[in-house]
């Protein structure tokens, strides 16, 4: 490989790393708007075809199933009353064609003149690179209500930093 080719390859690798991180931000930033508007087709599009959403009991298996969560209770009533599913800026680690993003979600629910924080959860997004871009292989969501699983999820996501 020529010297110039090596310079290009080095820059391309750095750019690709930045693109991965921002593409994962974009994916996660799409989730809330898709569910709060009950646009299930967009929710579905974020998951790999056989991807999973595990929120602590009976995980939803398959992208179609995940997207259909916008059509079940209590979600229908949350949206009718007014709700916001807000995802925090996550910590992201990319390893080849897989990635993990660790962060928080909160559900704000309208109560007339204010909003109640109905849920605050730890989130682990296990992602896979596909020909169409990054997709969710498994999203694991645990309420931060004192359960050890939620703490382990957060700790596992960032422990490589130390």
Gyration radius (Cα) of the chain, Å:
18
Rounded CA separation 73/78 (Å) = 8
Question: What are the tokens at 52?
Answer: 């999973």
- At closest approach, how far in Å is the CB of 141 from a second copy? 12
Rounded CA separation 123/31 (Å) = 13
Rounded CA separation 124/114 (Å) = 29
- At closest approach, how far in Å is the CB of 134 from a second copy? 12
Residue of 54, 68, 106, 129 that binds a second copy (CB under 8 A): 106
In the range 7-36, which residues lie near a second copy by CB under 8 A?
A: 7-8, 11-12, 14-15, 18-19, 21-22, 25-26, 28-30, 32-34, 36
**Residues 119-148: x/- map of binding to a second copy (CB under 8 A)?**
xxxx--------------------xxxxx-
Query: Among residues 56 and 82, whose Cβ is nearest to a second copy?
Result: 82
Residue tagged 């490589």 (tokens): 160
Q: Does 104 bind a second copy (CB under 8 A)?
A: yes
Number of residues forming the site for a second copy (CB under 8 A): 71
DSSP assignment letter at 135 = E
Q: Which helix (H) or strand (E) holds 33?
A: helix 3-36
Residue of 48, 52, 66, 83 that binds a second copy (CB under 8 A): 83
């Amino acid at each position: 490989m020529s010297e110039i080719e090596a310079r290009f390859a080095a820059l391309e690798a750095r750019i690709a790393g930045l693109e991965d991180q921002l593409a994962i931000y974009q994916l996660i930033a799409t989730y809330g708007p898709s569910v709060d508007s009950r646009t299930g087709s967009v929710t579905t599009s974020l998951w790999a075809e056989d991807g999973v959403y595990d929120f602590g009991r009976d995980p939803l298996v398959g992208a179609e199933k995940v997207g259909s969560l916008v059509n079940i209770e209590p979600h229908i009533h949350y949206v009718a009353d007014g709700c916001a599913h807000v995802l925090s800026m996550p910590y992201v680690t990319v390893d080849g064609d897989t990635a993990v993003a660790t962060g928080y979600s909160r559900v704000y629910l309208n109560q007339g003149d204010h909003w109640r924080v109905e849920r605050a959860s730890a989130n682990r997004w296990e992602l896979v690179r596909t020909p169409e871009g990054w997709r969710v292989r498994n999203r694991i969501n645990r309420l931060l209500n004192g359960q050890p699983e939620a703490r382990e999820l957060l700790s596992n996501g960032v422990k490589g930093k130390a």
